[in-house]
Amino acid sequence: MRFLMLVVLWCLLLYFCWPLAILVLLAFPMVWLLLLPFRIAKMVIEAALALLRGILFLPARALGVRRMM
């Protein structure tokens, strides 16, 4: 659904201002490549925090304590 909305918006931009639409089409891969290291860093940080959470809650899980949510 999100991809369809992007295509429709891009088609509208192409209709009203085609040079800007072509610029967006060419700039999108560059922006994606620029932001890729931040996505990888986010995954690494989330994995490290999940490991830390697992280590901290291991004694409670071993004793059989249940969450109150």
Check residues 37 and 65 and name the one with the higher pLDDT.
37
Element (H, E) at 27: helix 18-63
* Average pLDDT value over all residues in the chain: 90
**61 or 56: which leads in pLDDT:** 56
- Which pLDDT band, with edges at 50, 70 and 90, does 64 fall under? confident
Highest mean pLDDT among 11-15, 18-22, 37-41, 62-66: 37-41
**14 Cβ partners below 8 Å, 6+ apart?**
21, 22
Whether pLDDT at 69 is above 80: no
Q: 0.85 cut: is pTM over it? A: no
